[in-house]
Amino acid sequence: MTTTLTDVQALIREWITAFGPTVLAIIAVATFVAWAGTFTLRRVIARTIHRDKDLPAKERKQRIDTLQRVGTASVKILVTVVALMVLLSELGVSIGPILATAGVAGVALGFGAQYVISDLISGLFILIENQYSVGDIVCLNDTCGAVESVTLRITRLRDLDGVVHHIPNSEITVASNMSKHFSRVNLNVGVAYDADIDAVVEIIDEVGAQLAADDEWSENIIEPPQFLRVDEFGDSAVYLKVVGEVRPAKQWDVTGELRRRLKSAFDDADVTIPFPQRRIHQDEE
């Protein structure tokens, strides 16, 4: 038993003496290349995106973060695979049969891998076309939420209930970005048929202007919410369309505050916001 342990220790020392420096050198070089590659790529991405002055600062940061995450992960995977192949070759392991086996396995798994390849290609186009980035509010097909992660294979969303959705990129047929460049308040306000429409329009425009002038809300509003048109004659109300431009993803906050202020202003002016009602006429016998 002692002889066996001694032999094993001798073999380990011999292996370390023969291959140890080479292995350490390969690991050190791979680590440096991965660090230098990711560092350079991150700087190139940041400088390239910063040149696009048409993008707001927040969107530039989101796009930089998204591209840097995907680029960094890709560089690390590439360097790891190359370093592993070089390491095996230096240890005397022929990588030819490994590559041949991988080729045969690739053919065998081709039908299954086609979905992964489709995901990767779709993810690449999502990034190149800047359809959305981490932090955007989007609807992908029928699933809506905040983008938490974008990779070449999947997009991860978290909805308002806190549910996380993992969506393969190749299955995304419609991507609707609700926080791109700017967002819009789009509100229908219903008033009674006997209301003075001109007076109601004045109230709406006044409330919108006051909201835009409020220090707490002014930085989120690009154009004050204001009356656009009489949008519909409903069963119980006349609906007025109110629109305004706001900062990306701020439309829900601004619309909620606008509703609150309009309700108070209508109450003060005795403007009725009707609720659905039905009249029943009974024929006299």
- Let me know if 116 is exposed, middle or buried by CB neighbors in 10 A (0-12, 13-18, 19+): middle
Domain 183-268 CATH (choose: 3.30.70.141, 3.40.190.10, 3.30.70.100, 1.10.3720.10): 3.30.70.100
pLDDT of residue 84: 82
- CATH architecture of structural domain 2-108: Orthogonal Bundle (1.10)
- Would you list the domain boundaries of the chain? 2-108, 183-268
pLDDT at site 68: 78
**Whole-prediction pTM:** 0.67
The rounded distance, in Å, linking the Cα atoms of 174 and 235 is: 34
pLDDT in tens, 61-114: 777 787 778 788 888 888 888 888 777 777 766 666 666 665 555 554 555 567
DSSP assignment of 194-263 equals: TS-HHHHHHHHHHHHHHHHH-TTTGGGEEEEEEEEEEEEE-SS-EEEEEEEEESTT-HHHHHHHHHHHHH
> pLDDT at position 51, please?
73
Give me the residues of the chain with pLDDT under 70, please. Answer: 1-3, 7, 9, 11-12, 15-20, 52-56, 58-59, 92-113, 277-279, 281, 283-285
Using CA atoms, how far apart are residues 267 and 226, in angstroms rounded to an integer?
Answer: 19
- pLDDT of 202 reads 96
